[in-house]
Amino acid sequence: MALSGLDIFKLLPKTNCGDCGVPTCMAFAMKLAQKKAELSECPHASEEAKATLGAASEPPIRLVKIGGANAFEAGNETVMFRHEKTFFHQTGIAIQLNTSEDKDKILKKIKEIENYQVERVGEELKTDLLYISHNSKKAEDFAETIRLVKQNSTKGIILDCLDEEVLKEGLALLKDDRPAVLLRKEISDNDIEIAKEYDISLILTAQSLEALANQAEKARNMGVSNLILNLESENVGQQLQNNTILRRSALKANFKPFGYPLFAYINAENEFDRLARISILLCKYGSIIALPDHDKAMLYALFTLRQNIYTDPQKPIQVDPKVYPIGEPTPESPVFLTTNFSLTYFIVSGEIENSGTSAHLVVADTEGQSVLTAWAAGKFVGETVAKFIKQIKLEEKIKTRKIVIPGLVAQISGDLEENLPGWEVIVGCQEAADIPSFVKQVNLT
């Protein structure tokens, strides 16, 4: 029987210290009861509380790790929609390696996957896992591919091998690497024993919710809890519905057999269908998505979408507030102003660079908010910007006394000039894309 907030409160220290991030112990107890927090967030919880609460304090979706020292983590989610709190662990993207391919070709693909990453708004975006599919007629190709991966990659590994003996040989090479194994058949006692012996995660495959629940329950009862669920579907609409049912059952009904990360293998022949299907699963609860090819153009689009979905909506991505040199500015170079919202910074700095102008970019502290949002919140106004410019001692570093402000907040120009005596405020363009043409038309020296 689920414990109420009051039942949980009785087991908490009742100090209202706030160390858990919540003002009172009662509020924290209510969050625990709603599965929106973990008991581990309270540093003062007694052993009695830990023992009594037990599973009641566990997140409804289990955290599963794949890999060694830098393991990929999936699960541990507590909400249906990111705006309710946030999604904690982004969808893992796995790229398939076929053991039937030439070893030089496999090695080239591993290195290409390992070296490909994209920088966007200050973050390095890349794939997370390698999915080794044993489709060769030679048993030794499986172990050889695993060796190539271990020697040339740091990513977690998912294994797909129907031959149990060949699989064991491969697992022996991955000691302490905690791989995951995809089961394409109903889970057996042997599968469970292998999972225990080699400390691996099992990806359970089924064609119905009932069959999947039965397999998960069997594994749980026999002591295997590192599970990932693969509910196969005929089309993307059915898969979206299934994912929603699985997530809702785990979060709202606390149905333990469905309280695990979700896996999907996407191999649509049409690349646009493939991109659409992956995008839907990125948005709706896919924990790991395996792809047959390393398509850089497609991955770039997926990286961007994934970053947007898994950014904490309560903590905007931001850069450090300071003066950034664009190009090779001198003390006479022009000065531009913007906020420290990462996307704003990277777009503005990129357009200044595209203009061919070296400049000083003053990035004010707006707690990661965009220009208009920060202005509306009173964090990007003349007084605060002037105060920031004085704090960073900008006047001691440059000789120019002209500053270009975003055109969207032209109304702060008078207040800014009043708080920065001797400065000329130039109202810039409203869109960052217009900066190159703006620079050519206005005298900024």
Task: Give 186-241 pLDDT, tens digit per residue.
Answer: 999 999 999 999 999 999 999 999 999 999 999 999 999 999 999 998 888 999 99
Q: What letter does residue 311 receive in the DSSP assignment? A: S
Q: What is the pLDDT of residues 286-326, one digit of tens each?
A: 999 999 999 999 999 999 999 888 887 777 778 889 999 99
pLDDT single digits (tens) 428-443:
999 999 999 998 888 7
Residue 1's pLDDT is: 44
Q: Match 């080794």 to its residue by tokens.
A: 132
CATH annotation of 5-57: 1.10.15.40
What percentage of the chain reaches a pLDDT higher than 90? 66
Task: Tell me: pLDDT of 37 over 80.
Answer: no
Q: What pLDDT sits at residue 31?
A: 83
Query: How far, in Å, CA of 120 to CA of 130, rounded?
Result: 23
Query: For 121-135, how does the pLDDT look when each residue is reduced to its tens digit (9 = 90+)?
Result: 778 899 999 999 999
Q: CB 221: neighbour CB atoms within 10 A?
A: 9
User: Given 3-state DSSP classes, what are the helix, strand and coil percentages for the chain, each rounded to the nearest 5?
Assistant: 45, 15, 40
Instruction: Please indicate whether residue 119 or residue 141 has the higher confidence score (pLDDT).
Output: 141
Q: How confident is the model at residue 57 (pLDDT cuts 50, 70, 90)?
A: low
pLDDT, mean of residues 81-89: 83
For 135-154, write each residue's pLDDT tens digit: 999 999 999 999 999 999 99
Q: What is the pLDDT of residue 242?
A: 95
CATH of 323-441 given 3.40.50.11600, 3.40.640.10, 3.40.50.300, 3.40.630.40: 3.40.50.11600
Q: Is 314 left (phi over 0), alpha (psi -120 to 50) or beta?
A: alpha
Give residue 5's pLDDT band: very low, low, confident or very high (50, 70, 90).
Answer: confident
Domain locations along the chain: 5-57, 64-309, 323-441
Reported as a single tens digit per residue, the pLDDT across 23-34 is 899 888 888 877
> CA of 13: how far to CAs of 4, 17, 56, 61, 123, in Å?
17, 9, 17, 26, 39
Give the pLDDT score at 35: 65
> What's the CATH number for 64-309?
3.20.20.20
Work out the average pLDDT over 51-60.
69
Handedness of CA 25, 26, 31, 32 (dihedral sign): positive
Predicted model pTM:
0.74
Residue 53 has pLDDT above 60, yes or no: yes
